[in-house]
Amino acid sequence: MATVTAPVAAGARTPERPRRSNPIKQGEGRFGFAMIGLAVLFVTVFTAIPIVASLVLSFFSWDVISPPEFIGMENYRRLLDDGPVLRSFGVTIGMAIAIVVLQLSVGLGLAVLVNARAQVWLRTFFRTAFYLPLLASSASVSIFMGYLFDYKFGVVNYYLGLVGISNVPWLTSGFGAATTIVLITVWQQTGFTFVLFVAALMAVPTDVLEASQIDGAGGWRTFVGIKVPLISPTILFAAVVALINAMQLFDQPYIMTKGGPGTSTTTVTISMYQQGFQNLQFGYGSAIAIILLLLILAITGLQFLAARKLVFYQ
């Protein structure tokens, strides 16, 4: 009797598993460290240390040639007075909001329309068509879209001319250039949100949809009342990813307009590139980079806060 009760009592006192004595677990700790070693090394050297280094550098003045000099908050003070750089934050936020709104609404709309189709070949065709732009690099897209949106010879203005809208200054005016870059980014990236939404919509259980149909809900009410809440986690995910990407917009404006005309398409990342790598002001460039990071963290945080009210998790 005593031999039966003793182990129970012992087990109740020490809930931890007897790790040491288990021969299967022997040497597991060392093995684990060996397995993560490479990843930890590369992530530390090329991500973790650079984050800290960026922050530290932002308090220094450094032109790469002479040794860095500590200047405290001077870079940040300078940033607050730097009109063009401040404007680049405005340009970035404006373009990012436009890109995210368009990319999500167009992607969701197309996903709903494709999901309503029963024929498999049609669905495959549209999925392939909407995904293909993602196979081109943003550099390639910037190149051929630059030709298509050309003021004089471009195909876009040619067709618009046929319907009476002539000589739209797509890339030669400030608003036009920002609009063009938003449009081509949406053109390329919508396939990403589309694929996400199609997958999410397919996962909506059919019995829920049938139930709503029996209760007399029409297509629109089913969409707003049932589908959207059920796929809201995916909408949030797509919004966060799209926004983080859009806040880092660089390739398209750099290649198509070099940030111009004027500073109308100079995004934060272009500002940072100009200050850091063209003017060789690594300290000031780092300060801009840190503010961009804080901005992205703040916006993402806000999105998640808003999502607490709006997103429905099963």
Partner 1 sequence: MSSLVPTGGAVVVETPPPTLQEHRVPVVPRAQRSTLAQVGRVVGLLILIIAAMTALGPLLWTLTTSMRTPAEAFTNPPQWLPLHPDFSNYAAVFDKIPIERFFVNSVVVTGLIVLGQTVTCTLSGYAFAMVDFPGRSAIFAAFLATLMVPLQTIIIPVFVIVRYLGLADTTMSLVVSALGNAFGTFLMRQYFMQMPRELGEAARIDGAGHFQVFSRVYARMAGPAIATLAILNFSGFWAEFYRPLIFLQTQDNFTLPLGLVGLQGNLGTGSISVVLAGVVLAMLPSVVLFVVAQRYFIAGVTAGSSR
Q: Which parts of 264-303 interact with partner 1 (CB under 8 A)?
A: 268-269, 272-273, 276-277, 282, 285-286, 289-290, 292-293, 296-297, 300
Considering beta carbons, is residue 19 or 77 the nearer one to partner 1?
19
Listed in sequence order, the DSSP H helices in the chain are 2-13, 28-43, 49-57, 74-81, 83-115, 120-131, 138-148, 155-162, 174-202, 206-214, 219-222, 228-230, 232-247, 251-256, 268-273, 282-310
The interface with partner 1 within residues 16-45 (CB under 8 A) comprises 19, 24-25, 27-33, 35-36, 38-45
Q: For partner 1, give the closer residue by CB, 97 or 160.
A: 160
Q: Choose, by CB under 8 A, the member of 208, 224, 298, 302 that binds partner 1.
A: 208
Q: How far is the CB of 228 from partner 1 (least distance, A)?
A: 11
Q: State whether residue 60 is helix, strand or coil.
A: strand
Question: Quick check: 145 binds partner 1 (CB under 8 A)?
Answer: yes
Contact residue for partner 1 among 87, 174, 248, 261 (CB under 8 A): 248
- Is 251 near partner 1 (CB under 8 A)? yes
Q: Is 106 exposed, middle or buried (0-12, 13-18, 19+ CB in 10 A)?
A: middle
In whole angstroms, the minimum distance from the beta carbon of 9 to partner 1 comes to 26
CA dihedral 262, 263, 269, 272 (to 10 degrees): 90
Q: How many residues sit in the footprint of partner 1 (CB under 8 A)?
A: 121
Measure the CA–CA gap between 214 and 93, rounded to whole angstroms: 44
Residue 94 as a binder of partner 1 (CB under 8 A): the answer is: no
Residue (97 or 217) nearer to partner 1, CB? 217
Q: Which of 295, 276, 271, 278 is nearest to 286 (CA)?
A: 276
Contact between 121 and partner 1 per CB under 8 A: no
| Per CB under 8 A, 165 contacts partner 1 | no
Q: What's the CA gap between 152 and 302, in Å, rounded?
A: 43
- DSSP code of 224? I
